[in-house]
Amino acid sequence: MKPKTLAILGGSGAGKTALSLELASNYDCAILSLDSLSVYQEINIASAKPSLGERKGIPHFGIDVLHPNELQNIHNFIQEYHRAQAFCQKHNKHLLIVGGTSFYLKTLLCGLSPSPKLSSSEKLEIDSTIHHLGDLNAQYAYLRRVDLPYASKLKPQDSYRIVRALEIYFSTQTAPSVYFANNPPKPILKSCEIFEIYFARELLRTRIQERTQEMLNKGLLNEVQTLIARYGTQHQWAKSIGIKETLAYLNYQKSWDSSSTKPQSPIFSLESLKDSISLHTAQLAKRQGTFNKTQFPPHFCGTANEIYSQISSQIFCNFC
């Protein structure tokens, strides 16, 4: 029988990694990570990615792909999906797509409009034109002038979509909204059954607090210090939950050490650091749940044990 592709979603701290490892170990699966931090090398604790030992030799994709000074985007993820799909086809394995960045899965299912074909010199010229518009705010303002309907759908901080829209405009002299209407997206992944781990809010908050404490115990402070010393704070991962709060705490400690006046900061102790990371993670988990509910068709939601039983009995039973 043809191997299956399944997705396991859920809020941060819900237990997606443990469930996927158990399924992959028992049913000969490869795993594609949907996590926007795990894709980076050297970001191990803040991403809560499984260690090499925890992976138990299970093939993983979308983990440790980029250096921290490289940019993650949807095209990188799609490339990893194609690598994972080709591997599973060659080795007759199931594919588990697992993580909390559900937008990536949404893109696989809905597709992307094809980009205009450009030569290297044309691409460089357009990149230069966009760069000379100014910072992201200036680029967004320009997009609003040339295509207000499309720009209004974007957040001013959405650098990927803003730049892509400007690339389309400068390469085709066509408003992005018109271009996308004339070049509709095609699904990349046509069949994928979705499962979502659900926890009552208070139980999930407790799990998040425990996971945050575990990250601190493993050396989150040292990891963030090393990353910032090597790569600075300008990269997108530096604004991720877990890293940005730790950076605020480290900056507070540095200011306190060099000044006789106590600086003002909401993150002034390890306890307040833990509370801040936990709070922001819980808020993210809520947003993730809302996205999954509104952006995907009705799908099975339950505890990790219920999902394991459902997949074992209904999906993989004929492969045993």
Instruction: Please check the confidence at residue 267 and state whether its pLDDT lies above 80.
Output: no
107 marked as binding residue: no
pLDDT tens by residue, 46-85: 999 999 999 989 999 999 999 999 988 888 999 999 999 9
The pLDDT of residue 2: 83
With cut-offs at 50, 70 and 90, classify the pLDDT of residue 199: confident
Which amino acid is it at 275?
Answer: D
Closest by CA to 29, choosing from 94, 99, 98, is 94
172 marked as binding residue: no
DSSP letter for each residue of 217-265: HHTHHHHHHHHHHHH-S-SGGGGSTTHHHHHHHHHHHHHHHH-SSPPP-
The pLDDT of residue 222: 97
Instruction: Please check the confidence at residue 188 and state whether its pLDDT lies above 80.
Output: yes
Q: Can you tell me the mean pLDDT for 1-5?
A: 86
Structural domain boundaries in the chain? 5-111+187-319, 120-182
pLDDT tens by residue, 101-125: 999 999 999 998 888 988 989 999 9
Q: Can you tell me the mean pLDDT for 77-102?
A: 96
90 marked as binding residue: no
Return d(Cα 277, Cα 284) in angstroms, integer. Answer: 10
11 marked as binding residue: yes
With cut-offs at 50, 70 and 90, classify the pLDDT of residue 201: confident
15 marked as binding residue: yes
The pLDDT of residue 255: 67
111 marked as binding residue: no
- Please give the DSSP secondary-structure letter assigned to residue 3: P
Task: Label residue 219 left, alpha or beta by phi (over 0 means left) and psi (-120 to 50 means alpha).
Answer: left
312 marked as binding residue: no
219 marked as binding residue: no
Return d(Cα 160, Cα 156) in angstroms, integer. Answer: 11
CATH superfamily name and code, 5-111+187-319:
P-loop containing nucleotide triphosphate hydrolases (3.40.50.300)
Mean pLDDT across the chain: 92
Instruction: Please check the confidence at residue 307 and state whether its pLDDT lies above 70.
Output: yes
- The verdict on domain 120-182 having CATH code 1.10.1060.10 is no
pLDDT tens by residue, 129-173: 999 999 999 999 999 999 999 999 999 988 888 999 999 999 999
Pairing of strands 29-33, 60-61: parallel
